[in-house]
């Protein structure tokens, strides 16, 4: 990893920037993407959104890390985030959204997830990474399983039912070589994640 950029297959994960604001605003206003994210579309103007966006970029939060997902050609197509980072326990929650529909179902989400998992386990000292995905989003669940996540239980949060899934470092380490190899070989297999 150089200059804070994670390269994984056909994507680059980089720190968020103000240039991402318009894409992020458009995705947050989108009804389908909001449904996949268990949220509602935002109703504020872009100018209002931008004020909060600038504040978040300037506010250093030691418990979260946000990344933009770019293609290797430099097109911003989505976002990833690690949050509720607990360095004492060595665990965090992870979220992903491929916002640009042109890049759904072509492996960009899989490459993104693999890159971030490897980074968090290898360089950030995590021992367990977990996530919540809507119970009806079976395609996302299958995709997460391809990375090694195991379904633990169904939980209710914010009025929605989620599948709680987790991945422990020893499981990642034991399967890392095969998973990393699949980043190069997945081609157009349906492995994308459409939620954060």
- What distances in angstroms separate CA 133 from CA 78, 136, 189, one per listed residue? 17, 8, 21
Can you list the positions of beta strands (E) in the chain?
6-8, 11-15, 65-71, 76-86, 91-98, 128-134, 150-157, 160-168
- What distances in angstroms separate CA 124 from CA 65, 96, 172, 191, one per listed residue? 11, 18, 14, 25
Query: What's the predicted TM-score (pTM) here?
Result: 0.88
* Predicted pLDDT at 103: 93
Cα angle 31, 36, 39; round to 5: 65
* Predicted pLDDT at 192: 37
Query: Cβ–Cβ contacts within 10 Å for residue 94, how many?
Result: 25
CATH of 6-185, one of 3.90.470.10, 1.10.287.1770, 3.40.630.30, 3.40.50.720: 3.40.630.30
pLDDT 10s digits, 69-85: 999 999 999 999 999 99
pLDDT 10s digits, 109-163: 999 999 999 999 999 999 999 999 999 998 889 889 999 999 999 999 888 999 9
CA–CA separation, 96 and 120 (whole Å): 14
């Amino acid at each position: 990893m150089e200059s804070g950029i994670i390269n994984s297959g056909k994507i680059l994960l980089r720190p968020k920037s103000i240039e991402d604001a318009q894409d992020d605003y458009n995705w947050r206003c989108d009804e389908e993407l909001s449904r996949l994210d268990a949220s509602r579309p935002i109703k504020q103007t872009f100018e209002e959104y931008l004020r909060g966006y600038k504040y978040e970029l300037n506010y250093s939060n030691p418990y979260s890390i946000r990344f933009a997902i770019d293609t290797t050609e430099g097109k911003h197509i989505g976002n990833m985030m690690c949050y509720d980072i607990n360095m004492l326990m060595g665990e965090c929650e992870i979220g992903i959204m491929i916002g640009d529909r042109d890049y759904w179902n072509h492996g960009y989400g899989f490459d993104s997830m693999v890159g971030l998992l490897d980074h968090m386990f290898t360089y950030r000292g995590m021992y367990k990474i977990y996530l919540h995905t809507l119970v009806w989003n079976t395609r996302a669940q299958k995709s997460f399983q391809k990375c090694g996540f195991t379904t633990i239980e169904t939980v209710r949060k914010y009025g929605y039912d989620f599948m709680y899934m987790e991945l422990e470092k020893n499981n990642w380490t034991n399967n890392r070589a095969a998973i990393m190899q699949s980043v190069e070989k997945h081609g157009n297999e349906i492995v994308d994640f459409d939620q954060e």
